Amino acid sequence: MNKIGKDFINGTRYPDFSTFDCILGIPEPPPERPAPEGAAVIKLPSPGRIKIPALSVREAIERWEPVTYFSRSSMTLKDLSFLLWCTQGFRKSSTAENQMRNTPSSGLRYPLETYFVAGEVDGIETGLYRFLPQSHSIVAERPGSDLPFTMGDASLNFKIVTRAAVTFLWVGVPCRSVWALGNRGYRSVLIEAGHTCQALIMAAACIGYQVQPSDLFNDESMLNLANLDPETQWPVYFAAVGKVEREL
C-alpha cells in the first residue's frame, strides 16, 4: 500500500483530542452554506405529500445494476424533492442543534453539501443547483444549458451524464466533522458520501430510476464547475440518475 494511504489512516486514528477544533476553542462552522445573495431559491414540494409506490428493500437492491446507457431522461420536481429528502433531508427537526436526517452521520455533523446538475427537470431551468436541507429548497448556483455537457466532461462519463435527468455531486465540507471529531472527521466525509449514494440508489428504485455512481472524475474540472474553494470544499462523489430503455 502506498505511503499516502498509511499516512491517512495513521493521521485519522481516534481519538486525538489535540485535533478537535471544539476543544481548541475554534468557533463551530455553520451546518449549511447560505444561498448566495440575489440567487433564486425554489421551495420544493413537501416530501410528506408525495405518494411513492410500495417497494420491498430486497427488490430495490436487486433492481440496481451498473449502467452503461441512459435513454433521454426527464424528472418531475416531486421526484427530485423525494430523492433529495431521502439522501440529505431532515426527518424530525431543522434546527442546527437537533439534526435528524434520513442518512447516518458520525456525531450528526453532516459534512456534505448536495449539488446537482439538472438536465431535464420539469419546472426548473437547466443548470447547477444546491440543496438547502433546512428549508427543503434548492438554490440556483449557475444556470446554463451547457452545464450537462460541462458535467459530462468533468465526470469522465459524457455519454451517461449528458442523458441523465439529474446528476448529483456531493461536496465534502470537512471542517463540520473535524470541529467535533478531530482528524477522524476526514474519514467521516468519505464514508457518509457512500451512505448518501446508497440512499439515492434505494430511493430512485422506488420511482423507476437507475443510478450510476462514480468517484472517478477530474477534480479540477469539478472544482471549477461548482465554483468550489479547494481548501475547504472537496468534491468526493457523483451519481447520474436516469432511465434505461429495456426490451420487453
Chunked mean pLDDT (size 10), the chain, 248 residues: 89 94 95 92 92 91 91 93 96 62 93 97 97 96 96 96 97 97 97 97 96 97 98 98 71
In 74-148, the DSSP E strands lie at: 112-118, 127-132, 137-143
How many helices (DSSP H) and strands (DSSP E) are in the chain? Answer: 8, 7
Is residue 184 domain-resident? yes
- Give the model's pLDDT for residue 218: 98
- Of 36, 37, 116, 31, the closest CA to residue 77 belongs to 116
Is residue 203 domain-resident? yes
Q: Which residue range(s) make up the domain with 194?
A: 39-46+55-242
Is residue 16 domain-resident? no
Q: Which ranges in the chain belong to alpha helices (H)?
A: 3-11, 57-63, 77-88, 147-155, 158-161, 175-181, 185-206, 219-226
CB atoms within 10 A of CB 126: 15
How far CA 151 is from CA of 18, 53, 138, 160, in Å, comes to 39, 31, 19, 10
Is residue 164 domain-resident? yes
The residues, ordered by sequence, that sit 6+ positions from 197 with a Cβ below 8 Å of its Cβ are: 87, 170, 211, 213, 237, 239
The structural domain count of the chain equals 1
Give, in degrees to the nearest 5, the angle at Cα 45 between 93 and 53: 95
Q: Which three cell numbers stand for residue 156?
A: 469522465
Is residue 65 domain-resident? yes
CATH number at residue 210: 3.40.109.10
How far CA 105 is from CA of 99, 102, 141, 170, 205, in Å, comes to 10, 10, 25, 14, 23
Q: Rounded to an integer, what distance in angstroms lies between the CA atom of residue 20 and that of residue 34?
A: 25
The pairing of strands 112-118 and 137-143 is unpaired
